[in-house]
Amino acid sequence: MTTQITSTAQLRSSHGNDRRSDVCIVGNGAIAKTAALGLSQAGHSVTLLMPPVRGADAPASVSGGEQPWDVRVYALNHTAHDLLSSLKVWGALDMARVAPVDAMDVHGDGENGGHLGFDAFGAHTGTLAWIVEDSNLNKALDAALRFAQNVNVVTGRATRLACSPDGARVELENGSSIEAQLVVGADGRDSWVRGQCDIGIDYRSYHQRAIVANFSCEKPHHNVAHQWFTCKEGIIALLPLPGNQVSLVWSAPETLADTVMNESLGELAIRLGEHADDKLGLLKPLQPEAVKALPLALVRPHAVTAPHVALIGDAAHVVHPLAGHGMNLGFGDVVDLLKVIAAREAHHGLGDERVLARYARARKEDVLLMQLATDGLERLFGANLEPLRVVRNLGLNLLDKLPLVKRRLIAHAMGR
């Protein structure tokens, strides 16, 4: 049986207005799709409930010519690579649009800013990470879903989540419903599933926005990712794209972000030149011009499970993008959820509280470490105090001279 794409109108005619499966996954992003593929390949029937896409979020259509570069990219680590490879998704990516990261240069603030460098050779690996566009990843996942067994993709808006000792029931606005042993919330930072479970959150706004755009660079980037920790301007990262092209992720204070978003991309390139000219030469916006700004916050749910419910991806944790690991944490969620479900005792159902408790324990340390690291670094480099500036630059230089510590850090970042 292959995937069935079903609209809410079609669902009205389904037998008894009910659909039953082992798992119901709510979400329309890469993490939701990956979880659906993983669970279906493990032999479970899956209903993937995808909320309707708003016009502003719909992918842009291109008529003829080369597909423009997506401004939203991910630095996928080895955990993500291995998972997507095992699901036969990695090989379906357009590899001409994937760039390896062979090294990373981190720069401190000020004229005598510190420096920290990582490279694949020192980490005893072929590459540190891979830069993949959101559209490239989702296109490969969609292709895999079309041929996946035991997966039904339903487009509809959920209105109520009800749980009983035997399972969960997701009710849709058209009067139909989906019954499952396990509901997986993969529906983002404002998760509807999380809200239905009355799971509270700790929320901290960073009063920053991530400005994303793409540029060509005068000098070759040699597959090196550059990052500048500045106090007044936030955190600037330029990630390698294929060819002499880079992707910008600039975590800018809100006031500065407002100013930048009211300027042209040419003016943005001039601003970046203060940091990038020495390494990459003159930057020029890629055509057609595109730039987005995404609000940044730390979101920590008080739990990642509820009766017959598991949260994954941004529904389970939102961290600062300075380390580029928000998406990788989501892939780690999928890996651990698949492991605990596969290892469960035969008499325990998919949504059994003991199974879900194992998933929560499996994710606790990895997520907590990333939350503490990203939040701590943002606080440290956001403090505009000269003594602190000197200390953090010295710290970068000291860490750069400790190869064993650096190797441990990069191994954790790669997912190993």
Which CATH number covers residue 218?
3.30.9.10
Element (H or E) spanning 409, and its range?
helix 403-413
> Does 177 lie in the same domain as 92?
no
At 112 the pLDDT is: 66
Distances, alpha carbon 39 to alpha carbons 77, 94, 226, in Å: 21, 24, 37
CB-based contacts of 214, cutoff 8 Å, min separation 6: 69, 71, 241, 245, 246, 247, 248, 285, 286, 290
Q: How many separate domains does the chain show?
A: 2
Distances, alpha carbon 26 to alpha carbons 31, 46, 196, 319, 397, in Å: 10, 11, 12, 21, 45
Helix/strand/coil for 309: strand
pLDDT averaged over every residue in the chain = 88
Residue pair 131/23 in contact (Cβ under 8 Å)? The answer is no
Residue 66 lies in a domain: no
Give 126-138 pLDDT, tens digit per residue: 899 999 999 999 9
> Does 286 lie in the same domain as 151?
no
% of the chain surpassing 90 pLDDT: 70
Residue 61 lies in a domain: no
> Does 100 lie in the same domain as 177?
no
Task: Kindly tell me if the per-residue pLDDT of 396 is higher than 60.
Answer: yes
> Does 195 lie in the same domain as 78?
no
Give 181-212 pLDDT, tens digit per residue: 999 999 999 999 999 999 999 999 999 999 99
**Could you tell me the pLDDT band of residue 114, with boundaries at 50, 70 and 90?**
confident
- Signed CA dihedral, 342, 325, 286, 209: sign only: positive
The predicted model gives 355-368 an average pLDDT of: 96
* Side chain identity at residue 215, one-letter code: F
Residue 67 lies in a domain: no
Give 295-314 pLDDT, tens digit per residue: 999 999 999 999 999 999 99
- Burial of 402 by CB count in 10 Å (0-12 exposed, 13-18 middle, 19+ buried)? exposed
> Does 391 lie in the same domain as 368?
no
Which CATH number covers residue 145?
3.50.50.60
Full-prediction pTM beyond 0.75?
yes
Tokens 């994937």 belong to 98
Give 8-61 pLDDT, tens digit per residue: 333 333 334 689 999 999 999 999 999 999 999 999 999 999 998 775 455 554
> Does 92 lie in the same domain as 21?
no
Residue 167 domain boundaries: 4-56+137-202+299-375
At 65 the pLDDT is: 59
% of the chain surpassing 70 pLDDT: 85
